[in-house]
């Protein structure tokens, strides 16, 4: 895909849950949940400093081949995001991810967080993004 993109001088849009493919092919990433953009950043920045709990959940679902190869027992389970994806016809009040989020507070359930630029070119729609990114401003 990169070769085609370079030779034709075009952009490519990938829609995937496969973060390995994202890491190898994307320059910039938009993470969406329940039809809304929850995070946007350059691929390297997103992988190094994920600022939304859903993005972190996606990273937790990436198989670690090295850890599995070293393990003498059963393969380690992948992290899962608890709960169910909400119906787009019946979204909860506030942040759509709040019912599944371990960090959710009353603020999350009351109002959808606006996207904020917490690092240059890195937008996150989460009331708790500063804690996840590590206090970056």
Query: Token pair of 125, please?
Result: 């729609």
Give pLDDT tens digits for 37-91: 999 999 999 999 999 999 999 888 776 666 556 666 666 667 778 888 899 999 9
Q: CB neighbours of 128 closer than 8 A, spacing ≥ 6?
A: 53, 103, 105, 108
Q: Which residue matches tokens 């390995």?
A: 20
| CA–CA dist 85, 134 (Å, integer) | 27
Q: Is the pTM of this model over 0.85?
A: no
In the predicted model, what is the mean pLDDT of residues 97-116? 95
Query: Token pair of 109, please?
Result: 């359930």
Q: What class does CATH assign to 2-133?
A: alpha beta
* Per-residue pLDDT, 137: 40
Candidates 56, 48, 44, 46; CA nearest to 97 is: 56
**Are β-strands 28-33 and 116-119 bridged in parallel, bridged antiparallel, or unpaired?**
unpaired
């Amino acid at each position: 895909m990169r070769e085609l993109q370079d030779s034709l001088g075009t952009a490519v849009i990938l829609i995937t849950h496969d973060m390995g493919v994202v890491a190898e092919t994307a320059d910039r990433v938009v993470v969406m949940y329940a039809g809304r953009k929850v995070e946007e950043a350059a691929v390297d920045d997103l992988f190094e400093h994920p600022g939304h709990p859903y993005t972190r959940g996606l990273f937790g679902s990436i198989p670690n081949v090295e850890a599995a190869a070293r393990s003498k027992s059963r393969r380690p389970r992948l992290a899962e995001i608890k709960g169910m994806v909400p119906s787009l016809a019946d979204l909860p009040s506030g942040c759509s991810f709040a019912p599944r989020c371990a960090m959710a507070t009353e603020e999350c359930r009351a109002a959808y967080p606006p996207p904020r630029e917490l690092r240059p070119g890195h937008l996150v729609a989460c009331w708790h993004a500063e804690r996840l990114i590590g206090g970056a401003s």
